[in-house]
């Protein structure tokens, strides 16, 4: 079980290449739902959000194959909004250099020319 931030800065839990968003908190723990709106899969974790307690339902869609790319994109977006003194192209290049094994040549060629 790993965590990442959504594009809007909310905490997501990733299990087996599926993303879950926080749904509600109760005395029993915290409930997360799949980020795909039409999917009924959900999980429950303890209050510390570190121990998986239960998995409910099945996913009705394929898993996310490019999850590492999404994580890199979100990290770059956060950095661009936090550090306004650097040009966005410089931040993008720094992000690509920090994680060269995440991107292949196809992804790099799609990067906008600056």
Report the domain count for the chain.
2
Shared domain check, 6 and 48: yes
Q: How many CA atoms lie within 13 A of 80 on its CB side?
A: 15
Closest by CA position to 17, among listed 71, 73, 98, 74: 71
pLDDT value, residue 64: 78
Residues lower than pLDDT 50 in the chain: 105-106, 113-114
pLDDT value, residue 39: 94
Shared domain check, 52 and 6: yes
pLDDT value, residue 1: 83
73 belongs to a structural domain? yes
Cα 78 from Cα 28, distance rounded (Å): 32
Q: Residue 98 is part of which domain span?
A: 67-110
Shared domain check, 75 and 43: no
pLDDT value, residue 34: 95
61 belongs to a structural domain? no
102 belongs to a structural domain? yes
pLDDT value, residue 106: 47
């Amino acid at each position: 079980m790993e965590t990442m931030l959504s594009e809007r800065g909310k905490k997501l839990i990733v299990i087996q290449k599926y993303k879950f968003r926080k749904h509600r908190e109760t005395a029993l723990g915290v409930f997360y739902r799949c980020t795909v709106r039409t999917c009924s899969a959900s999980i429950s974790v303890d209050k510390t959000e570190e121990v998986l307690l239960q998995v409910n339902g099945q996913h009705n869609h394929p898993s996310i194959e490019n999850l590492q790319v999404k994580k890199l994109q979100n990290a770059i977006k956060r950095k661009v909004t936090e550090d306004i003194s650097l040009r966005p192209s410089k931040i993008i290049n720094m992000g690509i250099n920090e994680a060269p094994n995440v991107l292949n040549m196809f992804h790099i060629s799609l990067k906008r020319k600056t």
